[in-house]
Every structure is written in structure tokens, then in C-alpha cells.
Amino acid sequence: PQDGYPDDGSVTQSELSVEAIRRLCAITGRLHAATVLDTDSHLDECQIEAMRLSSLVGLVVRPDMTGLSRARWALSTLTDRGVSRDRFRLVLNRVGQAGQIDPATIEHTLGIEVFQKIPEDSVSVNRAVNRGIPVTELFKSSRIGRSFSSFAQSVQTS
């Protein structure tokens, strides 16, 4: 690989088309009970199409003013572009830092109930990332490990 990253078979965003996203969602939907697509923070047609085809869209928000403002913009943009509002699940990320916006205020502002709270645990996350091991494997019993496991269970039953 020219960029120094391993050749893991992944494709770049520029290599995807809306039709490729439709096919990918159809295939993974037949093969798996749940499929997770991690999209970038900007919204392009491929990402929006994936969300239109999804039964659940996790709206991951940091509980601060910047996070809330971005979430309002994303929610407005996505619903205007045809992503059904009832598909969104509000996931608060890095919860527990001082000075954060109260979850009830975020729920009221966005009009969506909190689906999951992911606690702040930069030490565990950094160790897991630096070792290349999922935090749910390396720190199963930690608050963040349990939170991710709970989130996975909740997604499967939604």
C-alpha cells in the first residue's frame, strides 16, 4: 500500500456510489441481523442513502454546545433529505465531564430521547486503540466496556 496503511480490502469514500451503497446494504441486511456503518462527520449522498436504507441511525453527540449545534444541523439536514426522524437514536458520547449540557436539555432541543450514554474513559479507549484491541475485549468490565456491550444489545433488540 502506498499510504503506509495495511491493505485490508476497504475502499475509500470516493470509490463508492449511491448504487454501491444500496447493494452493500441489501447484501449485509440478508447476511447479518445488524450491520453498523460508521459515517464521516460530513454528509454526502452515499452516507445519506445509507441512512435512508437503515432501520436505525445512531446520532452520536458530545454533550456540549458544539456537539448539540452539529446534531441539530445533522438532524435537520437528514430529515430534509428523506431520512425518517423515527429512525434516529440519540447516543451521548464521552458523558461525565464537568460542564456538560444536561441530557434532558439535549433531548428537549433535539426532540429525541437518549438511547444510550457512553461514559468518558479516555485512558481505556487510548490503551485499546494503541493496542489495536476493541475496548469491549480489553476492558470488558469497565464502565465503557459495559456501555458498548449494552449499546450493542440495545441495537439488536430495536
Three-state secondary structure call for residue 95 = strand
Average the pLDDT over each of 9-13, 17-21, 91-95, 101-105 and give the range with the smallest value. 9-13
Whole-model pTM?
0.84
Residue 7 has pLDDT above 80, yes or no: no
Q: Give the residues across from 117 on adjacent strands.
A: 92
Task: Please enumerate in sequence order all residues whose Cβ is within 8 A of that of 79, keeping only pairs 6 or more positions apart, or say none.
Answer: 85
Centroid of chain to Cα 121: 17
Three-state secondary structure call for residue 11 = coil
* Structure confidence at residue 8 (pLDDT): 66
Position 9 confidence tier, pLDDT thresholds 50, 70, 90? low
Cell representation of residue 36:
453498523
On the 0-12 / 13-18 / 19+ scale of CB atoms within 10 A, 146 is middle
